[in-house]
Structure 1
């Protein structure tokens, strides 16, 4: 029995080596650029932002809500400047990066996870799940249960109050990676 196990491991190791040696260049890990090469935009995008609280570049102009999926943060941007920024807890389903608008709002309801929520500001639908910002009435911002289909982007109650005041029907919401 031990001989079969050893033989099987040897075959698996050989196949893994063979597969890694034949990965198409388009799927291979990026290689470091030569020191004299100009950094690519992709490399620049991976560098940490100088001011993580600054509104992300590429998020448009004018009055808008900016939601960064990667940074788990929202910025409320007024006509002249940043009004407020705060962390959020994403749902299990997220919208694709792009520009949306607030389509509906609810003062206080039960969330799809059974938690009582307030100041719901909806702006997208993905796979029949409404995506929107909200605050749990109990103040929690826990991670959603894996495997559930939820669309609530949770925030602290005070931040939910600010979102409710800022993002009325028709307001622009920009989702960035």
Structure 2
């Protein structure tokens, strides 16, 4: 008997969910006093997914958004910031402000991949963290068993990063 009751309650719950999911918008929300059915709703403000994060500061800087896996080269007067996706490595820096500490034109990455335009800005537990592009243009996911800090980007984006930064350039890492 308890099983039949539980089954009946579940069935009623499912039907109630389906009914609520199919209610027309004008019937689903209570009307505010003084509003009419013909009034059009205020347009939603859409956030530009490619806009430089607000809490990244100002001025000439590289912004690296960890969660978005995206970088912006921002702050050149009169120019729209360049933005692109990146492939993070297994070790990431904590959010904060850093300065470029060194650059290398071509080296072999700690994962054995030949890389170019390496821009280093910090280290975490003795793992160097920096931006680079693979010479072969790949952006493969890193081997999760290796502790590496290379944030990989496409070749054209690596070229732009190399041109944009020098030792001492500001890097802002945001969540």
CA RMSD of aligned residues (A): 1.0
Partner residue, 1:89: 87
Q: Which deviations, in whole Å up to 9, do the C-alpha atoms of 1:28-47 show, x marking residues without a partner?
A: xxxxxxxxxxxxxxxxxxxx
Picking from 56, 69, 74, the partner of 2:71 is 74
Partner residue, 1:128: 126
User: Normalised by the size of structure 1, how large is the TM-score?
Assistant: 0.71
Q: Secondary structure at the match of 1:82?
A: coil
User: Normalised by the size of structure 2, how large is the TM-score?
Assistant: 0.72
1:167 CA displacement: 1.0
Distance (Å, rounded) in 2 between the aligned partners of 1:79 and 1:90: 25
1:50 CA displacement: 1.1
Distance (Å, rounded) in 1 between the aligned partners of 2:174 and 2:108: 28
Give structure 1 stretches of 5+ with no counterpart. Answer: 1-48
Q: Where does structure 1 differ by over 6 angstroms across 4 or more consecutive aligned residues?
A: none
Q: Secondary structure at the match of 1:133?
A: strand
1:166 CA displacement: 0.3
Contact 1:63 1:172 (8 Å CA) reproduced: yes
1:91 CA displacement: 0.6
Give structure 2 stretches of 5+ with no counterpart. Answer: 1-45
Q: Secondary structure at the match of 2:83?
A: strand
Distance (Å, rounded) in 1 between the aligned partners of 2:123 and 2:65: 17
Partner residue, 1:110: 108
